């Protein structure tokens, strides 16, 4: 075991050391907007890129390519190359302002980092709710690696379904996808899969198209956070689709080749995509600070961790929540919190002004060039909403490189179809 204290000769005494944990929406927002003339910024994350999660579902079927929605963190121009750590944070000593880490690339390398200010933005994991078999057999959709696994499984199942000596019942099982969870992630993945089947499978696997089925299992209502009229429109559209089934139930067990519902029904399938809420990461679980019932770190209205007496540790995004002011776990919240915090740290905003979240609205793609737009002032559905969905996300991409790559991918998909090359 190699345990050492990390330091860098590049840190200047008149600059405070700001350590950021995570490169998601919250952490990346802080990194982009912080004044590096005032702070030496150290980032610790097991991921060396920012992921534009609203378009992640599009990569599962090849509508977009994986690299079109990720931005390398090092392009944020660190003062020194050693200021980014491809590592996990493992423990935190609040009293002595020391962070414990271990390297992703060399797990034997364990070390500590001291800080003046710390931002905890480690995000969250998909919640399995303790359902047996989920970890072993289901696919999550939180990271690029998840999307790549799903894409390979979809293509593998199609190739197996047309292979020699395949029985009809096995072929049908392979071409049945079960989506667990009717939130935006589950619905948008179902929409992308539907488009893939209608536009590409129809040409490349003609005989198999009619055997493709999708089942979306949701215990309550799909898109529960959306306006009721928009939600009903989405539900009606999904139910009207051939071989697309909505089931109001819950999954009690996941097997290698099927799922079991709470009424005992067994659904044979070739792919299970699990998208049913969030659970805290290991670091958050083991942090000895006040948390809410969902395991999120509790902060005050200024995003400062309640247990930190020094007032130098902040928490934001999915891993945290403001005491008595619960906020939704969305990219919008995390990004706004990051901007608020950097304004305070940069001296642009009075530190006595609390964080206040104003919801700008929600967007969701439901397939067939239709989307939902739910804002305080506008409620839209259909093709016009789809145009707004695409243009809104295009403008929010992190760099001009991505703003060029994404429309190019969309154009290639429209003109030539999706790339169905399979590789591990």
Res. 238 pLDDT band, cuts 50 70 90? very high
> Can you tell me whether residue 44 is helix, strand or coil?
strand
Over residues 218-228, the mean pLDDT reads 95
Q: What is the pLDDT of residue 9?
A: 42
Over residues 358-381, the mean pLDDT reads 95
Determine how many CB atoms are found less than 10 A away from the CB of residue 163. Answer: 11
Q: What is the pLDDT of residue 351?
A: 86
Which residue matches tokens 């009690």? 252
Distance CA 267, CA 215 (A): 9
**Residue pLDDT, tens place only, 317-362:** 999 999 989 999 999 999 999 999 999 999 999 889 999 999 999 9
Q: Judge residue 216's burial from the number of C-beta atoms within 10 Å of its C-beta, 0-12 exposed, 13-18 middle, 19 or more buried.
A: buried
Signed CA dihedral, 348, 350, 354, 358: sign only: negative
Does residue 33 carry a pLDDT above 60?
yes
Q: Which two tokens stand for residue 277?
A: 């809420």
Does residue 56 carry a pLDDT above 60?
yes
**Residue pLDDT, tens place only, 240-294:** 999 999 999 999 999 999 999 999 999 999 999 999 999 999 999 999 999 999 9
Res. 6 pLDDT band, cuts 50 70 90? low
Q: What is the pLDDT of residue 4?
A: 59
**Residue pLDDT, tens place only, 22-31:** 999 999 999 9
Res. 193 pLDDT band, cuts 50 70 90? very high
Instruction: Give the pTM.
Output: 0.94
The residue that leads in pLDDT, 207 or 98, is 98
Q: What is the pLDDT of residue 8?
A: 47
> Can you tell me whether residue 412 is helix, strand or coil?
helix
The residue that leads in pLDDT, 77 or 303, is 303
Q: What is the pLDDT of residue 89?
A: 97
Q: What is the DSSP letter of 14?
A: T
Does residue 146 carry a pLDDT above 60?
yes
| Residues contacting residue 361 through CB under 8 Å, at least 6 positions apart | 373, 374, 375, 376, 378
Instruction: Tell me what percent of the residues of the chain surpass a pLDDT of 70.
Output: 97
Q: What is the mean pLDDT of the chain?
A: 94
Does residue 10 carry a pLDDT above 60?
no
Determine how many CB atoms are found less than 10 A away from the CB of residue 290. Answer: 12
Q: What is the pLDDT of residue 222?
A: 96
Q: What is the pLDDT of residue 13?
A: 58
Does residue 1 carry a pLDDT above 50?
no
**Residue pLDDT, tens place only, 409-422:** 999 999 999 999 88
Give whole-number Cα distances, 42 to 2, 16, 36, 389, in Å.
21, 11, 11, 34
Residue ranges and CATH numbers for the domains of the chain are: 2-126+278-346 (3.50.50.100), 134-276+361-416 (3.50.50.100)
Closest CA to 325 of 295, 344, 302, 342: 302
Instruction: Give the torsion through C-alpha atoms of 25, 31, 32, 37, to 10 deg.
Output: 160
**70-74, 127-131, 394-398, range with the lowest pLDDT:** 394-398
Determine how many CB atoms are found less than 10 A away from the CB of residue 131. Answer: 19
H-run or E-run covering 16: strand 16-21
Instruction: Tell me what percent of the residues of the chain surpass a pLDDT of 90.
Output: 92
Does residue 11 carry a pLDDT above 70?
no
| Residues contacting residue 334 through CB under 8 Å, at least 6 positions apart | 24, 25, 26, 29, 121, 316, 317, 318
Distance CA 253, CA 336 (A): 37
Give the CB-side neighbour count of residue 50, counting CA atoms within 13 A.
25
């Amino acid at each position: 075991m190699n345990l050492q204290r990390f330091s860098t000769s590049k840190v200047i005494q008149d600059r405070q050391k700001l350590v950021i944990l995570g490169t998601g929406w919250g952490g990346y927002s802080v990194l982009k907007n912080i004044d590096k003339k005032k702070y030496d910024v150290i980032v610790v994350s097991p991921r060396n890129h920012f992921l534009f999660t609203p378009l992640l579902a599009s990569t599962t079927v090849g509508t977009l390519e994986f690299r079109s929605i990720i931005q390398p963190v090092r392009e944020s121009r660190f003062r020194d190359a050693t200021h980014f750590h491809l590592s996990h944070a493992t423990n935190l000593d609040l009293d002595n302002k020391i962070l414990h880490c271990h390297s992703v690339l060399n797990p034997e390398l364990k070390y500590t980092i001291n800080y003046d200010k710390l931002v905890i933005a480690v995000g969250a994991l998909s919640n399995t709710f303790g359902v047996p078999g989920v970890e072993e057999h289901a696919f999550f959709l939180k990271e690029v690696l998840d999307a790549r696994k799903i894409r390979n499984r979809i293509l593998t199942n199609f190739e197996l379904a047309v292979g020699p000596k395949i029985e009809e019942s096995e072929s049908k099982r392979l071409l049945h996808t079960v989506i667990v969870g009717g939130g935006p992630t589950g619905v948008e993945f179902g929409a992308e899969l539907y488009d893939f089947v209608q536009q590409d499978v129809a040409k490349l696997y003609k005989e198999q198209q009619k055997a493709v089925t999708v089942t979306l299992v949701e215990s309550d209502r799909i898109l529960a956070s959306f306006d009721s009229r928009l939600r009903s429109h989405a539900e009606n559209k999904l139910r009207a689709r051939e071989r697309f089934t909505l089931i109001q139930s819950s999954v009690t067990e996941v097997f290698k080749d099927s799922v079991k519902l709470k009424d005992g029904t067994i659904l044979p399938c070739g792919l299970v995509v699990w998208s049913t809420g969030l659970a805290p990461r290991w670091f958050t679980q083991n942090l000895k600070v006040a948390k809410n019932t969902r395991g999120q770190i509790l902060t005050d209205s200024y995003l400062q961790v309640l247990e930190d007496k020094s007032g130098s540790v902040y928490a934001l995004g999915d891993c945290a929540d403001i005491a008595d002011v619960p906020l939704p776990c969305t990219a919008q919240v995390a990004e706004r919190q990051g901007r608020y915090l950097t304004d305070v740290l940069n001296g642009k905003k009075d530190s006595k002004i609390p964080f206040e979240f104003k919801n700008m609205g929600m967007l969701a793609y439901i397939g067939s060039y239709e989307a939902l737009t739910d804002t305080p002032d506008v409620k839209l559905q259909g093709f016009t909403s789809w145009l707004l969905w695409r243009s809104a996300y295009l403008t929010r991409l992190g760099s001009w490189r991505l703003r060029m790559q994404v429309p190019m991918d969309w154009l290639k998909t429209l003109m030539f179809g999706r790339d169905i090359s399979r590789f591990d």
